[in-house]
Amino acid sequence: MIKGKTWNLRSILTLFPCLMLTLILGASGCIGLAPSGNTVNLATVKASQQKGEISTDLSPAGDPLDLGDIVYAQGIGVKAGSELTYDVSKHNGRFEAWAGIDPKVSAKRSGRFRVYADQDLVFDSGVINQEAKRGSSQNPTRPIRVVIPLAGVEKLRLTFQSEDDGDKAGLSGGWGDAKFVPASAPEYKVGTYKGKTLAKTPPMGWNSWCRYGTGINEELIKGVVDAMVASGMRDAGYIYVGLDDGWQAKGAKFDEKGYPLWDPEKFPSGMKALGDYIHSKGLKFGVYSRAGWVKGHETQFAERYAEWGVDLVKYDFSNKAQQKATLDAIRVAGRDVVFSVCEWGRERPWLWAPGFNAEMWRTTYDVKDKWTSKYDNNGGIGVLRSAHQNEALGPFVGPGRWNDLDMLQIGVDGYDYGHDRKKVGFDITPDEEKFQMSLWSMLASPLLAANDVTTMNDHTKAVLLNKQVIAINQDPLGVPGWRVKKLDQIEVWKRPLKNGDIAAAFVNLDEKPRAIDVTWAQLNIADPREVTDLWETRSLGKHDGTLKFEAVPSHGVVLVRLSK
């Protein structure tokens, strides 16, 4: 059955945060699937066949359509077992939606979305698993973008099925912002923000935490600075040198006037002298802080940051109000400082951090040196899960404002974050390291290396310093990529670039090599393109219509640039 929606002030206010997403991805007020020049909200189109419990613009329970930290003003709410079939024979554009599970009523459940174009399976989410989050309600599995070209398609069928042994009727999900759009409709909108832009492209640098924990000192940091210059990291764009936890004084952390103190045994020359040394090498100075230290001392901390020459502040373990108070104090202090919000996505910082004029914000819990993780909590997550958690957040960013996927694990070599720096058996493979560098670049995340830069091997240097891959990350258009093809373990990601070029990542999540292809229709391009393999640094010649790679390695990626 189809449930009608009733509007009241409370429901309107609840949906207000999603308006930004609606503005970016486009809204529709059209009724019926009519000529190709119109964008049509799926909820206004009558299905030719329908099965299961369906609701329009709300969840099946009548609540806002929340699909895992993202609330959609428009779309279709569904319960497991639903099927919807639409006649699209007169439409030559594309179908777009975000497929996801409602985390409130399905927190420990798993389900699967599929889309069929006539008889062909054209989208398969794979199993979306939200089972047993170890008591953590944070960072639920976020929705997956669905983009299906409709030229030549007669029937489009959408299905949602349970993939666990639980009550089928209790599993809810939805197709957020589901719509039919003309082929000429824009795929994205570039974000614009008020206030000064201190990071027109994603910040790049190095952070001490993963490799050294609290065991940092003046001599070590100066050695890192020298290595970043000698290795070519600085010239490649890694300009921020970030001191994470461990610089502050032990015990009493403030002087009698409430100003912060550093550890004089670790940093005998003082923080200003260290900042001066970093700046003398053409690099910038980053410092870690947290609400437990700063609360009530925001002005003093901000004034000290300015005095020390700090260029980036990472502010951890704090809520929305604490983040704003500290950032406001930093702006009043008068020094241009990039502000990195770190509260792990708990309060949906993509909705408010841009308005605070923060340049970047963490979107998940800490990333570890491992491929994947069942859970997303403060025990740490793998690089795959971090990448997948961020696709749905792409519409909230743009030049000057960035989703932060956390630190690069390239060359970290199995060190666990924490205070003891023990190796714990993790260690992503060389192919998985290329995956992380590729997806962090496709998603326009800050690139913060976390390895021992004084002892980098050739592979680590080759991954971190690949100029063509870095150029994708730093592209000034500032639009993060999304999946244009998803068939369970096979993915193709697209990122539009400033000059009309396209970056495409062919990703194999399987345990064996797989062939992966993409059509020009799926990439939404019509002209021939010169293709360059960015990891192999070689031209693949001109292609038109289809691009295929026969053996993408397990957990590997082929990253290409398609030039006009």
User: Residues with catalytic annotation?
Assistant: 316, 366
Question: CA 34, CA 126: separation in Å to the nearest integer?
Answer: 32
What are the angstrom distances between the C-alpha of 116 and each of 113, 178, 233, 401? 10, 15, 46, 36
The torsion angles phi and psi of 195, rounded to 5 degrees, stand at 95, 170
Q: Is 81 exposed, middle or buried (0-12, 13-18, 19+ CB in 10 A)?
A: middle
- CA-based R_g, the chain, Å: 24
DSSP state, residue 132: -
118: left (phi over 0), alpha (psi -120 to 50) or beta: left
Distance of CA 383 to the CA centre of its chain: 11
3-state secondary structure of 480: coil
242 and 283 Cβ atoms separated by less than 8 Å: no
Q: Is 137 exposed, middle or buried (0-12, 13-18, 19+ CB in 10 A)?
A: exposed
DSSP string, 213-280: TT---HHHHHHHHHHHHHTTHHHHT--EEEE-TT-BPSS--B-TTS-B-B-TTT-TT-HHHHHHHHHH
Q: Please, which residues bridge with residue 562 across strands?
A: 502, 531
Q: Please, which residues bridge with residue 173 across strands?
A: 78, 101
